[in-house]
């Protein structure tokens, strides 16, 4: 193959991937004189030229593969492999998106896709679980954040790129796949059989966890997560107009759409910077600010994070922490603080390229550092130590005097029922239990802004305007 014939598609490919103006090639641009022989590769790079010697090496390798590989491979396939190789060597999050992967990415942003419901990354040649998505085959089968997947249906993943591993995990609804997992604290690898399903992620869920205290869970940041969060706040206000605090659960939230994370943080901030990005090209330097008005009017908030909280969830936690708007509780987050830009290469192909880094309002880089909680609480299996039987108090005694202030006596059964609910929460999720206690403490000492009256109708008007 003539050298110039190969350079033309390669030049186009590099121009698109670098997000700069088309790159001039030393041997094809008559207006640019050839670089002197003494010039270094660094000199060529400084002048905006591609290193000719390295390109010649590439074409030699290309020609050897094309002519001597044991099986014939189409030129288009080889060039696609070259693109994949360039991107995969940059960082774990840059990738080539073929028709299937590009479609999957588009579906993920809307909240519906096929597969196992698992967010993964590549680590030392193996697939590392960042987090399982709530109510999916992966979560139901017991896959945990931090698990290392070493085999897929007895096929070793060592040496696979991430896209190939993800492709193996995807499949038609009802089909089965066996994951071989290595887990910290478990001596031997073990197998989990999962049945693939159509994954519909409910991005936001809410409930009153105890009288006066709401719980808001965001599983993933999708296109409509910001609006859904506002509606969830409205729903909690309807259920309990006298809310005293809110738990925002971002544990095992792998991230998602940047704009959605900005909208969620904006719902709890009066104003100010939420996040900013810095990159090499001018359009990568962006700032995202909150619009005036905190929908919760200073309601005390505890944000739960763990090592499965990544990217967009770290943006929200970092913004609320820097503005001292919430207390962050749990364990250190994942530390995925880079921005990926999806650049279409046609109707069904694209590249996902890391183009910038995220910074919190105070200038902290999230990348490879994560968000460190204000209060560290590990997830644990705990059991309350209580003596058996009912506890007898004055209220249980026959002929006891009534309360002098007219207070209602609470018998041992009522107290036992209330305590049982607390014990169940303590055993089920100790981090939520601690968050609830912290909110009660904040309320007790009044460490929050005065909360002016705001009717449910006003909240509904706010949602209607955003819709």
pLDDT in tens, 71-80: 999 999 999 9
pLDDT above 70: residue 230: yes
Choose the weakest-confidence range: 35-49, 89-103, 411-425. Answer: 35-49
Asked if residue 288 and residue 210 are part of one domain, the reply reads: yes
- The Cβ of residue 337 has, within 10 Å, a number of other Cβ atoms equal to 26
pLDDT above 70: residue 251: yes
With contact defined as beta carbons under 8 Å apart, do 62 and 77 qualify?
Answer: no
The SS3 assignment for 392 reads coil
- Final residue before a domain boundary, out of 176, 200, 224: 200
Specify if 252 maps to a domain.
Answer: yes
Asked if residue 286 and residue 179 are part of one domain, the reply reads: no
The pLDDT score that the predictor gives to residue 234 is 95
Q: Which of 296, 314, 318 is nearest to 306 (CA)?
A: 314
Asked if residue 116 and residue 162 are part of one domain, the reply reads: yes
Name the percent of the chain lying above pLDDT 70: 77
Specify if 148 maps to a domain.
Answer: yes
Residues 6 or more apart from 408 whose CB is under 8 A from it? none
The pLDDT score that the predictor gives to residue 45 is 56
Choose the weakest-confidence range: 79-83, 161-165, 407-411. Answer: 407-411
Choose the weakest-confidence range: 151-160, 262-271, 324-333. Answer: 151-160
pLDDT above 60: residue 464: no
- Average confidence score pLDDT of the chain: 82
> pLDDT (tens digit, 9 = 90+) per residue, 255-298?
989 999 999 999 999 999 999 999 999 889 999 999 999 999 99
- Final residue before a domain boundary, out of 158, 174, 200: 200
pLDDT higher for 120 or 359?
359
The pLDDT score that the predictor gives to residue 396 is 75
- Final residue before a domain boundary, out of 167, 200, 233: 200
Domain count across the chain: 3
Query: What is the widest separation between alpha-carbon atoms in the chain?
Result: 108
Specify if 411 maps to a domain.
Answer: no
The pLDDT score that the predictor gives to residue 282 is 84
The pLDDT score that the predictor gives to residue 392 is 75
With contact defined as beta carbons under 8 Å apart, do 198 and 108 qualify?
Answer: no
pLDDT above 60: residue 455: no
The residue range of the domain holding 34 is 3-73
Asked if residue 346 and residue 243 are part of one domain, the reply reads: yes
Q: Using pLDDT thresholds of 50, 70 and 90, give the confidence band for residue 116.
A: very high
Specify the CATH number for the domain of residue 174. Answer: 2.30.42.10
Asked if residue 148 and residue 18 are part of one domain, the reply reads: no
Specify if 370 maps to a domain.
Answer: yes
Residues 6 or more apart from 9 whose CB is under 8 A from it? 79
Asked if residue 363 and residue 214 are part of one domain, the reply reads: yes
End-to-end Cα separation, the chain, in angstroms: 57
Choose the weakest-confidence range: 80-94, 155-169, 260-274, 326-340. Answer: 155-169
What is the bridge-based pairing of β-strands 112-115 and 118-123? unpaired
Choose the weakest-confidence range: 57-71, 159-173, 213-227, 445-459. Answer: 445-459
- Please give the backbone phi and psi of residue 355, each rounded to the nearest 5 degrees, phi first: -120, -10
Specify if 281 maps to a domain.
Answer: yes
With contact defined as beta carbons under 8 Å apart, do 165 and 120 qualify?
Answer: yes
Q: Which long-range contacts (CB under 8 A, 24 or more apart) does 418-426 make?
A: 419/386, 423/384, 423/386, 425/209, 426/382, 426/384
Choose the weakest-confidence range: 9-13, 75-79, 301-305. Answer: 9-13
List the structure tokens of 225.
């997560």
pLDDT above 70: residue 5: no
Asked if residue 213 and residue 189 are part of one domain, the reply reads: no
> pLDDT (tens digit, 9 = 90+) per residue, 211-225?
999 999 999 999 899
Asked if residue 171 and residue 48 are part of one domain, the reply reads: no
As a whole number of angstroms, the distance between CA 48 and CA 56 comes to 18
pLDDT higher for 16 or 371?
371
With contact defined as beta carbons under 8 Å apart, do 50 and 44 qualify?
Answer: yes
List the structure tokens of 184.
């910290």
Specify if 406 maps to a domain.
Answer: no
Specify if 35 maps to a domain.
Answer: yes
Asked if residue 47 and residue 149 are part of one domain, the reply reads: no
Specify if 336 maps to a domain.
Answer: yes
SS3 content of the chain, % helix, strand, coil (to 5): 35, 25, 40
Catalytic residues: 311, 322, 336
How many alpha carbons lie under 13 Å from residue 90 in its C-beta half-sphere?
Answer: 19
pLDDT higher for 130 or 109?
130
Asked if residue 241 and residue 193 are part of one domain, the reply reads: no
Q: Using pLDDT thresholds of 50, 70 and 90, give the confidence band for residue 418.
A: low
The pLDDT score that the predictor gives to residue 465 is 54
Asked if residue 166 and residue 126 are part of one domain, the reply reads: yes
Specify the CATH number for the domain of residue 209. Answer: 3.90.226.10
DSSP state of 187: S
Asked if residue 448 and residue 342 are part of one domain, the reply reads: yes
């Amino acid at each position: 193959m003539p050298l110039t014939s190969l350079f033309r598609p390669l030049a186009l490919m590099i121009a698109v991937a670098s997000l700069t103006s088309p790159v001039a090639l030393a041997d094809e641009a008559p207006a640019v004189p050839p670089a002197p022989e003494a010039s270094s590769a660094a000199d060529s790079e400084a002048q905006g030229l591609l290193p000719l010697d390295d390109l010649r090496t590439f074409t030699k390798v290309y020609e050897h593969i094309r002519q001597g590989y044991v099986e014939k491979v189409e030129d288009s396939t080889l060039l696609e492999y070259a693109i994949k190789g360039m991107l995969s060597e940059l960082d774990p999050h840059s990738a080539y998106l073929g028709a299937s992967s590009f479609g999957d990415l588009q579906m993920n942003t809307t909240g519906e896709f096929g597969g196992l419901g698992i967010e993964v990354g590549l680590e030392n040649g193996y697939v590392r679980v960042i987090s399982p998505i709530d109510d999916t085959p992966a979560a139901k089968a017991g896959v945990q954040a931090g698990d290392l997947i070493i085999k897929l249906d007895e096929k070793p993943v060592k040496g696979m790129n991430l896209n190939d591993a993800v492709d193996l995990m995807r499949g038609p609804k009802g089909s089965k796949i066996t994951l071989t997992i290595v887990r910290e604290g478990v001596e031997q690898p073990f197998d989990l059989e999962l049945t693939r399903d159509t994954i519909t992620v409910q991005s936001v869920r809410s409930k009153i966890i105890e009288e006066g205290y709401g719980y808001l869970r965001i599983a993933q940041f999708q296109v409509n997560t910001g609006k859904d969060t506002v509606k969830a706040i409205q729903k909690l206000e309807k259920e309990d107009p006298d809310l005293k605090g809110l738990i925002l659960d971002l544990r095992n939230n792998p991230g998602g759409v940047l704009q959605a994370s900005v909208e969620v943080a904006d719902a709890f901030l009066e104003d100010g910077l939420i996040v900013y990005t810095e990159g090499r090209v001018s359009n990568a330097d962006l700032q995202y600010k909150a619009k005036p008005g905190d929908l919760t009017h200073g309601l005390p908030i505890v944000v739960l994070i763990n090592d499965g909280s990544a990217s967009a969830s770290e943006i929200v936690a970092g913004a609320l922490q820097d503005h001292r708007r919430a207390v962050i509780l749990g364990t250190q987050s994942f530390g995925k603080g880079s921005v990926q830009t999806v650049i279409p290469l046609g109707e069904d192909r694209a590249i996902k390229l890391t183009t910038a880094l995220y910074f919190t309002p105070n200038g902290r880089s999230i990348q490879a550092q994560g968000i460190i909680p204000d209060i560290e609480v590990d997830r644990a299996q705990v059991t309350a130590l209580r003596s058996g039987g009912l506890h007898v108090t004055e209220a249980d005694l026959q002929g006891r005097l009534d309360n002098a202030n007219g207070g209602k006596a609470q018998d041992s059964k009522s107290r036992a029922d209330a305590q049982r609910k607390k014990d169940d929460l303590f055993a089920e999720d100790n981090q939520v239990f601690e968050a609830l206690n912290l909110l009660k403490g904040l309320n007790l000492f009044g460490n929050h802004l005065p909360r002016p009256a705001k009717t449910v109708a006003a909240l509904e008007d706010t949602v209607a305007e955003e819709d």
